[in-house]
Amino acid sequence: MSDIGSDGVLAGVKELSPVQKTLAHGLVFLVLFGGWELGSRMGYVNELIMPAPTSIAYRLYEMFFVTGSIYWHYIITMYEATMGFIIGVSIGMGLAITAAISPVFRRYWAPYAVVFNVTPGIAVTPFIIAWFGFGWSSKIALAALVCFFPPFINTLTGLLNIDKDATELFRSLGSTKKQYFQKCQIPSALPIIIAGLKLAMTGALIGTIVAQFFSASEGVGILMQRFAFRLNMDGSFAALIVMSLMGLSLFTLMEYMDYKVLYWRRHSRMEEVSAKRKKQWLKQNGDMSQA
Amino acid sequence: MSNDQEASISNIELNAQYTGSLGGAVIRHTLIFFVVMFIWEMANRTGFSNPLLLPRPTDIAASIWKIYVTQGNVWYHLWVTFQEAMLGCLIGSVIGIALAVAAVLSDSFRQFLKPYIIIVEATPRIALGPIFVTWFGFGMSSKVALAALVCFFAPFVNTITGLLGVQEESYELFRSLGATRRQVFWRLMIPTALPTMNAGLKLAVGSAFGGALVAEFISAQAGMGILMARYTMSLNMPSAFAGLLSITLYGFLLFRTMEVIDKRVLYWLDDDLMAKKSAKREIKYRQELGL
């Protein structure tokens, strides 16, 4: 798990001040988009292929503030993706926990898991549409199907790959099976589980959008497809940007969860949480040093 | 932006301890498979489940025979999808790896690339399907383009992670032995990065498939995606299932091929292969020196 832009990676680069950095990035951005806009206006770039940034921006403005047509599609798509995510993650994690607890189940489920792994989930789209119809349910079902695998495999791997020494410590201290599961297996598996959830979130959004491409009456996916087929390219690019926003907001949400839940992986958060717990403990037990 | 990855499926197999003999396990697995199929068949024949939605296993088997042997129409579509996915995967990986190498070699390029990469990562890339179909038309090129776009990311991120993951001590060794920049790149960075890069390529192959299928769902004249879509639209579910099973089989074969290639290329991770390779090199070395 590495960050492309983390300090470790960028070590050795001469540090620019934040202002310089912003200026430099802004300049690159301006040159890129200015060139594109100019090319569009001068007729070097075909408007039908690559609409000018300003016309896309105008389209976005229109969608959000003038007609307000995007909100309904936006809410529907988010609803479908989130529901699919919840269902898919519950199924995936439920299966993983069962498989982690019961070796027999794990053994007999393994070949089917391989089958699920090698079939691209979105290949099932036509079936899902035929089974669940053209409404919301088919999108939710596809989102769930596409996103169930990463949480499954990651949870299973996390629960099974426990440090041998930790297991021994728990056993020698006489922990029950339940305590071992709650205090040892779950916390040590959490980082990889959350990594699986992040993948699932993206998967759910992709599943929803693909199901909408296949057949739908509402949603950002079908909105974009309609625009594209009418050769209204600025509209379809605006819809694409809306999808990016969705992806970005869901991604940020998952990162925030990562930050909150996995507090022990960041030093500052760790200290914050221990300070809080210390305060709580002192409140409950009284300050012993005073006594 | 983190490179959260799916845990590998092979972990399940590793962790399932086979208690009985291998033959016994195979027999038990087969038995369970046939019991499940029998229940499915019976549920269909007695009318508990609708054969229009979930066709009988025997019907699916008959359809497999039909589309592969008597009608033989599936070969052409398989070939088209295979070409699209492979070509897309090739283009996508080349672009991804080239961008990654450029980003690693030039710090400023990496810095300026970063915000755009975050946007590209957050966008559900498959959502560009309709735009690509409009740009590249209804033929093969739009599918290749979507497959390339969908799969370029995993090789990109993994190559960057791998190339930057070289240990400081190794650098120092190379530097103290007076290695040129080129030697450091080819002899140190690339071999260190290869395992991660190969993992990225494995992911890319799978997603290229998905990309080609989705583009075919949107609009195509030939390919497995459109074949399955046509079958389900005409409620010919047994044939559609036969198509889906072909995709599964195909995905499985690709996955295995990639694993074999992986093992061959990364011979130094496997003791037997390593011993074989060193023996070969020793012979060659002796011949060259005339010993």
Query: Secondary structure of chain B: what % helix, strand, coil (to 5)?
Result: 80, 0, 20
How distant is the Cα of A67 from the closest Cα of chain B, in angstroms? 23
The partner residue sitting opposite B217, judged by closest CB among A213, A233, A243, is: A213
Contact present, A69 and A219 (Cβ < 8 Å) = no
pLDDT in tens, A75-113: 999 999 999 999 999 999 999 999 988 888 888 888 888
Task: Tell me whether A102 touches chain B (CB under 8 Å).
Answer: no
* pLDDT value of position B20: 53
Out of A117, A206, A214, whose CB is closest to B124?
A206
Query: Which residues from A are below 8 Å from B77, CB to CB?
Result: none
For range A135-163, the mean pLDDT = 91
Q: Model confidence over A103-119: pLDDT tens digits? A: 888 888 888 888 888 88
DSSP element (H, E) containing B269: none
Lookup result for tokens 């206006």: A41
Find, among B117, B209, B213, the residue nearest to B159 by Cα: B117
Torsion of CA B50, B54, B55, B56, to 10 degrees: -90
Residue with tokens 């002796």: B286
The CATH fold of domain B74-289: MetI-like fold (1.10.3720)
Please tell me the least confidently modeled range out of A17-21, A266-270, B5-9, B112-116.
B5-9
pLDDT at residue B227, as a whole number? 92
Neighboring chain B residues of A110 at a CB cutoff of 8 Å: 12-13, 16
Residue A8: the pLDDT is 40
Among chain B residues, CA nearest to A205: B124
Asked if the Cβ–Cβ distance from A119 to B248 is below 8 Å, we say: yes
**Is A210 in contact with B126 (CB distance < 8 Å)?**
yes
Q: Is the pLDDT of residue A4 over 70?
A: no
Question: CB distance from A265 to chain B under 8 Å?
Answer: no
Q: Are A201 and B92 in contact (CB under 8 A)?
A: no
Mutation for B interface: A101, A117, A167, most B CBs within 10 A: A117
- How far is residue A217's CA from residue A129's CA, in Å, rounded to a whole number? 13
Tell me the residues of chain B between 176 and 205 that have a Cβ less than 8 Å away from chain A: none
pLDDT surpassing 90 at residue A141: yes
CA distance B54 to chain A (A): 9
* pLDDT value of position A94: 94
Q: What is the ipTM of this complex?
A: 0.81
Strand-pair partners of A3: B2
CB of B164 closer than 8 Å to CB of B104: yes
Q: Are B147 and B84 in contact (CB under 8 A)?
A: yes
Tell me if A131 sits within 8 A of A138, measured CB to CB: yes
Structural contact between residues A25 and B114, judged by C-beta atoms closer than 8 angstroms: no
Give the residue extent of every domain in chain A: 66-262
Give, as one character, the DSSP assignment of residue B138: S
Is the CB of A213 less than 8 angstroms away from the CB of B218? yes
Task: Please list every residue in chain A whose beta carbon sits closer than 8 Å to the beta carbon of residue B164.
Answer: 2, 9
Share of chain A above pLDDT 90, in %: 27
- Tell me if B127 and A237 make a contact (CB, 8 A cut-off): no
Local structure of residue B242 (DSSP, 8 states) = H
Report the pLDDT averaged over residues A118-131.
88
- Number of residues that this document lists for chain B: 291
Query: Mean pLDDT, to the nearest integer, of A135-142?
Result: 92
Q: How far apart are CA B25 and CA B31, in angstroms?
A: 10
Q: Give bridge partners of residue B2 from the DSSP assignment.
A: A3
Q: Give the C-alpha separation, A128 to A208, whole Å.
A: 12
* pLDDT at residue A23 in the model: 87
For residue A134, what pLDDT band results from cuts at 50, 70 and 90? confident
Q: Give the pLDDT score at B145.
A: 94
* DSSP per-residue codes, B213-235: HHHHHHS-SSSHHHHHHHHHHTT
Each residue's pLDDT tens digit in chain B (291 positions)? 344 555 555 545 444 444 556 677 788 888 888 898 898 888 888 888 787 778 888 889 999 998 888 888 889 999 999 999 999 999 999 999 999 999 998 888 888 888 888 888 888 888 888 889 888 888 889 999 999 999 988 899 999 989 988 888 998 999 999 988 889 999 899 998 998 998 899 888 888 988 999 999 888 888 899 999 999 888 888 999 999 999 999 888 888 888 888 888 888 888 888 888 889 888 998 888 877
Stretch 25-44 of chain A: residues touching chain B, C-beta under 8 Å:
25, 28
Q: Quick check: helix, strand or coil at residue B2?
A: strand
DSSP string, chain A: --BTTSHHHHTTSPPPPHHHHHHHHHHHHHHHHHHHHHHHHHTSS-TTTS--HHHHHHHHHIIIIIS-THHHHHHHHHHHHHHHHHHHHHHHHHHHHHHHH-HHHHHHHHHHHHHHHHS-GGGGHHHHHHHH-SSHHHHHHHHHHHHSHHHHHHHHHHHH---HHHHHHHHHTT--HHHIIIIIIHHHHHHHHHHHHHHHHHHHHHHHHHHHHHS-SSSHHHHHHHHHHTT-HHHHHHHHHHHHHHHHHHHHHHHHHHHHHTGGGSHHHHHHHHHHHHHHHHHHH--TTT-
- Is the CB of A49 inside 8 Å of chain B's CB atoms? yes
Express each pLDDT in A33-70 by its tens digit: 888 888 888 888 787 788 888 889 999 999 899 888 88
Nearest CA in chain A to B219: A214
Half-sphere exposure of A88 (CA within 13 A, CB side): 33
Q: Write down the pLDDT at residue A14.
A: 55
Nearest to A206 among B12, B112, B126 (CB): B126
Average pLDDT score over residue span A231-258: 89
Which CATH number does the domain A66-262 belong to among 3.20.20.60, 3.30.1330.40, 1.10.540.10, 1.10.3720.10?
Answer: 1.10.3720.10
